[in-house]
Amino acid sequence: MSNRPSASKIAHYFIHVRLLPSGCLKKIEIPAAKAFLQRQFPELTEAMISVEASHSKTIALSHPQIQSRFVQMMRSVSDLDTPEQISEATLAECCLRCFISHHIALVCIELERRFREQSGLRAVNVLPYV
């Protein structure tokens, strides 16, 4: 399994997966996070960052590289930073939260796939606990 994200996986950094009270998952695009991602990684073209992008197109950056830059931005904020620097750290955190929200949903769906037949476990039963 490669750490190089496909074009469609890049959207995981600006689309947040939210659990609704009904138990359904809703994907919410966050335009500020998308614009921030494009500013931080200008090598990502509009076609690569588009939600409708080709699934087979891969990107030269790896998930660890993208995530490391975001974590570094979050950790480097101090009380003396400008509002712009603080805002960038907040957007970096937002991008990471979006990415994590996708993985939480995917793990819950995988658990359902593996255990539904045996135990009746469904992703909607697990999601409220994570």
Which pLDDT tens digit goes with each residue over 94-127? 999 999 999 999 998 998 898 888 888 888 888 8
Q: Map out the domains of the chain as residue ranges.
A: 7-129
pTM (two decimals): 0.78
Which pLDDT tens digit goes with each residue over 65-85? 899 999 999 988 776 778 888
Distance in angstroms (rounded) separating the CA atoms of residues 109 and 121: 10
Distance in angstroms (rounded) separating the CA atoms of residues 8 and 44: 12
Nearest to 130 by CA among 107, 110, 96: 107
Distance in angstroms (rounded) separating the CA atoms of residues 36 and 49: 12
Which pLDDT tens digit goes with each residue over 11-56? 999 999 998 888 889 999 999 999 999 999 887 765 565 554 445 5
pLDDT computed for residue 53 by the predictor: 47
